[in-house]
Structure 1
Amino acid sequence: MTAPPAPPIRIGRSAVGAVGILAGATGVLESVVSPTLPLLQRELSIDPAQGALLSIAMLITGALTAPIAGVLGDRYGGKRVMVWLMVVVCAGGLVSSLAPNLPVLLLGQVLEGAMVGAMPLSFILMRKLLPADRSPVAIGVVSGFFVGGGMVGTLIAGPIAEGLSRHWMFAIPTLAIVVATVFAHRLLPDDQRTRSDARVDWPGVALLSGIVLTFMAGLATAPDMGSQPLLIVGVLVFLAAFVTGWIAVELRAASPMFDLRLLAKPAIWRSYVVTFAVCVGAGLSIFLVPQLFAVSGDGYGFGASLTDIGWYLLPAAAMAAISGPLGGLGTRRLSSTAVLAAGIALMTAALIGMAFVHTEVWHLVVGKALISLANGACITALVIKTAASVDEGTTGTATSLVMVIRVLGFATGAQVGGAVLTAGTPGGSDIPAESAYVTALVIASVVTALSLFAVRTMSKGAKQ
């Protein structure tokens, strides 16, 4: 049962500002792990494969939270659900700030992943609570604060971790989120429920969680599978069972998480293949580049401090911020296929360049910035392409699966990078050989380049 639309409520700039500050603080917390990953690996005595798992734990939760948050927002109101999700995020930030070891820190990151579902709800609230002529500006403000917060987090994580401790780099933004959430709760009016009968496909959520966790467990244990063949058999059996169960549940559910019948459209499944491949390449670079900055190996690496790494990654963060609008503009003036082809070619060239030319800091700075630009443009084009290939009523389902596959691609790239570095670390040393970095970056470039074969035929089955 759909409730009748309510007229927009005129909220003041203070309410929009409170949501913007909340988004900014959330962006800071979201971005502190990447530049400090070398320190976290060192202080927690974890190998690169475990560090890769830490770098993507938040994304896994986010992929599962986002579709649930939308349904709960329809049923209970977007403001109420957003506030409760931010409570979960704050709990995760607290756990991360107090974590004495890797398992506890992983738990904190998993809880922080609720922010992925909370941020889209803030955009929806701006549309519901503001007149049509004001909501786009407000959404832009909130989005800008989140991106800006990510840049701030990239810069300040290192100095805080080195000047105070790694605990404070989680605690400070968490405290800011607590304060901003209180103000947003007080200043935002309650929004009307859109659907009182909205239902969450909990069996589908549980089985998809099993798929994601089993998949990630398989990647995390990949280095040991050569000596333990039963391990890979067990992972494959569990993965097959979860996938089979999920498909059966989704095909029979009255309100499935994802309409799997969409996969019959060539344009859809090709979009998903390209999404996965592109994000594998980007995920590898996200994990490897900070490691290369920090390592001081035999004739390679730079021994950079955490503060330096933050500055080196700033151009990539800036490119990520503008990549979405550029991808949208390119799609409108050319086509999504043209943007994808150009983005994949640029990313492949940057990955190959970094694999064989990384003797100066600027080589990695430029390469990582180009990859961020190409990846953001490609994802924007893929979302637009996917939305144009389905009916309006299934747009949300089709595009949300793009986001899930995006997370799996990033996670796969990070875990492959971690596994290659772990396997490439000589016995008795904790520093991977330079050839391990080259191998991982070449793998990323090959996977990314292969996605061009799918791009060439993506127009088949599309509506436009």
Structure 2
Amino acid sequence: MDSSVSRSTGGAFAALLLAVLSFSLLQTLAVPALPALSVDLHADTTTVSWVISAFLVSSSVGTVILGRLGDLFGRKRLMLVSLAILGVGSVLAALSGSIGVLIAARAIQGLGAGTFPLAFGLVREVFPRDRVPVVIGTISAVFGIGFGVGLVLPGPLIDAFGWPSLFWVSFILVAVAAVAVITFIHVPAQQGAGRIDWTGAFLLSVALVALLLAVSQSRVWGAVPVVSLIALAAVAFMVFFAIETHSPSPLMNLGILRRSPIAAANVTALIIGFGMYGAFTLVPPLVQTPTTAGYGFGATTTQAGLFLLPMAVTMLFAGPLAGKFGPKLGWTTTLVSSCIIGAVGFAFLAVGRDYGWAIATGAGIIGIGVGFAFSALANVVVAAASPQETGEATGVNTIVRTIGGAFGAQIAAAIVTNTTLPGTTVPEPAGYTLAFTISAVALIAAALVALAGRASRHPNTSR
């Protein structure tokens, strides 16, 4: 535990870390299990992909709505609601006997995404002001760590106990987190300080669901459904913004999003999500490629996860370090540095694609970049928002990063699978090199956007 966290707040610190970890693990926990799920539940590749898509789509809705509810009615209360949703979804997933039930369970789990913005709001309520950046940095790092561990942990569990064990582990973690939140987080009871704009919530849900479905299913569905969904998302977004502008109790205060630091952070998050998700999604299939293809390492599911272990380890240290040094260096400087570090990591992957040490090193460097980026983004947003707006502002930033990640994962996969070795379904190795290079370029672009955001601010604002 960081030395800046005193004994009096240590329990709350651990509770928030557990709450965020319980959700972040679920982002990728099912990815290594997809082949086993396809066999055991008699589902084709297209159908089983919904195990990931359902979670992605529902989490985008849960993030902003639960974050806003927490701002209005109390973040501890809504944190427990979020954890309860995660627990119900985990038990249902573990007991699933059909692919349809499992997909529904994953959609329920996604609705528990409010743990992330709610945790940031609770940090401001529980911790002294001078400790907030480090705590936010650590929580941000744990969010990324859970993403990486979710790719490492499933292999041994599936081999030993089968895929249901993944969701039983998730349920146990959620239960422990809930007990910790009840026991250690003490904040004043908050009565309802407003009402929920359900029309806005519906429109935003339609827009996000349509957009993320179009992205996540773009390589499965035809052009007409995808274009129709994008058009529906565009219309829903326009109507949503028009209604929110004139609503006396808007779901989302659009004025927050217009603030220069938050606007720049959101655009940067979109590009970072696009660039960095390439490592999470492409390293496992790369190292699992049979050596007979002329590249790859023929790794098992468990071994493939180990290639990403350096990423999880470096994120563990990078987030708190960013929280400690960010106020001194300036959050924009920290954010720009994170993008450059991430780009260097992807350069390692692109150039050293055929060497195990280079892939592991690149993953470790990217972990530093991810840890710095998540911490810097969160702190930029929290610093620019009032305490009453924290959940809403951080929720939007998380959604934007998720959308960027969805685009990045799909485009990276499309690049890799565009060409195959003659007479096989194995991708050409050049596809991986190109995808990693594009991720590096995207992160350089994110650094430029962050710099432009700083340049557009008043000279007396934070760096």
Task: Flag whether TM exceeds 0.5 (same fold).
Answer: yes
The answer as to whether partners of 1:52 and 1:417 remain within 8 angstroms in 2 is no
- Superimposed CA distance per residue, residues 8-42 of structure 1 (whole angstroms, 9 cap, x where no aligned partner): xx999989877776666556555523554565577
Distance 1:102 1:458 in 2: 45
Partner SS, residue 457 of structure 1: helix
The one-letter code matched in structure 2 to 1:170 is F
Distance 1:415 1:92 in 2: 26
Residues 1:246 and 2:240 aligned together:
yes
Residues 1:286 and 2:283 aligned together:
no
Residues 1:81 and 2:78 aligned together:
yes
1:270 is aligned to: 264
Partner SS, residue 456 of structure 1: helix
2:216 is aligned to: 220
Distance 1:363 1:304 in 2: 16
Q: CA deviation at 1:75?
A: 5.3
Distance 1:190 1:294 in 2: 47
Distance 1:377 1:15 in 2: 23
Distance 1:187 1:324 in 2: 26
Across the aligned residues of Structure 1 and Structure 2, the Cα RMSD in angstroms comes to: 4.1
2:311 is aligned to: 316
1:444 is aligned to: 439
2:203 is aligned to: 207
- Superimposed CA distance per residue, residues 397-433 of structure 1 (whole angstroms, 9 cap, x where no aligned partner): 4443222211111222122233334444579855333
Percent identity between the two aligned chains: 24
- Superimposed CA distance per residue, residues 120-174 of structure 1 (whole angstroms, 9 cap, x where no aligned partner): 546766876x7969x98xx79x959988877765554211101221122222332
Distance 1:172 1:396, change over 3 A: closer
Distance 1:17 1:442, change over 3 A: closer
The answer as to whether partners of 2:148 and 2:311 remain within 8 angstroms in 1 is no
Distance 1:155 1:377, change over 3 A: same
- Superimposed CA distance per residue, residues 76-104 of structure 1 (whole angstroms, 9 cap, x where no aligned partner): 55444333322221221123224456554
The answer as to whether partners of 1:266 and 1:458 remain within 8 angstroms in 2 is yes
TM-score (norm 1): 0.80
1:7 is aligned to: none
Distance 1:346 1:357, change over 3 A: same
Residues 1:166 and 2:163 aligned together:
yes
The one-letter code matched in structure 2 to 1:197 is A
Distance 2:453 2:123 in 1: 34
Distance 1:212 1:167 in 2: 29
Q: CA deviation at 1:439?
A: 3.0
- Superimposed CA distance per residue, residues 187-231 of structure 1 (whole angstroms, 9 cap, x where no aligned partner): 579864323233223222222222222112222343367xx5534
The answer as to whether partners of 1:52 and 1:415 remain within 8 angstroms in 2 is no
The answer as to whether partners of 1:151 and 1:317 remain within 8 angstroms in 2 is yes
Residue in structure 1 matching 2:373, options 378, 401, 408 = 378
Q: CA deviation at 1:117?
A: 1.4
The answer as to whether partners of 2:74 and 2:191 remain within 8 angstroms in 1 is no
The answer as to whether partners of 2:121 and 2:390 remain within 8 angstroms in 1 is no
Q: CA deviation at 1:451?
A: 2.6
Q: CA deviation at 1:244?
A: 1.1
1:113 is aligned to: 110
Q: Name stretches of at least 5 consecutive residues in structure 1 with no aligned partner.
A: 1-9
The one-letter code matched in structure 2 to 1:340 is L
Distance 1:46 1:343, change over 3 A: farther
Distance 2:274 2:407 in 1: 6
Distance 1:45 1:290, change over 3 A: farther
Residues 1:333 and 2:328 aligned together:
yes
Distance 1:174 1:204 in 2: 32
The answer as to whether partners of 2:55 and 2:106 remain within 8 angstroms in 1 is yes
1:72 is aligned to: 69
The answer as to whether partners of 1:354 and 1:364 remain within 8 angstroms in 2 is yes
Distance 1:188 1:21 in 2: 12
Distance 1:237 1:190, change over 3 A: same
Distance 1:330 1:188, change over 3 A: closer
The 5 Å alignment of 1:51-66 reads 54-55=51-52, 57-66=54-63
Residues 1:368 and 2:363 aligned together:
yes
Partner SS, residue 102 of structure 2: helix
Distance 2:147 2:443 in 1: 26
Q: Name stretches of at least 5 consecutive residues in structure 2 with no aligned partner.
A: 1-6
Distance 1:20 1:262 in 2: 27
More deviation, 391-400/214-223: 391-400
Residue in structure 1 matching 2:89, options 45, 69, 92 = 92
Distance 1:12 1:392 in 2: 19
Distance 1:455 1:15 in 2: 32
The one-letter code matched in structure 2 to 1:91 is V
- Superimposed CA distance per residue, residues 258-290 of structure 1 (whole angstroms, 9 cap, x where no aligned partner): 322345444443332221111111112111112
2:404 is aligned to: 409
The answer as to whether partners of 1:347 and 1:375 remain within 8 angstroms in 2 is yes
Distance 1:148 1:259, change over 3 A: closer
Residues 1:307 and 2:302 aligned together:
yes
TM-score (norm 2): 0.80
Distance 2:337 2:447 in 1: 10
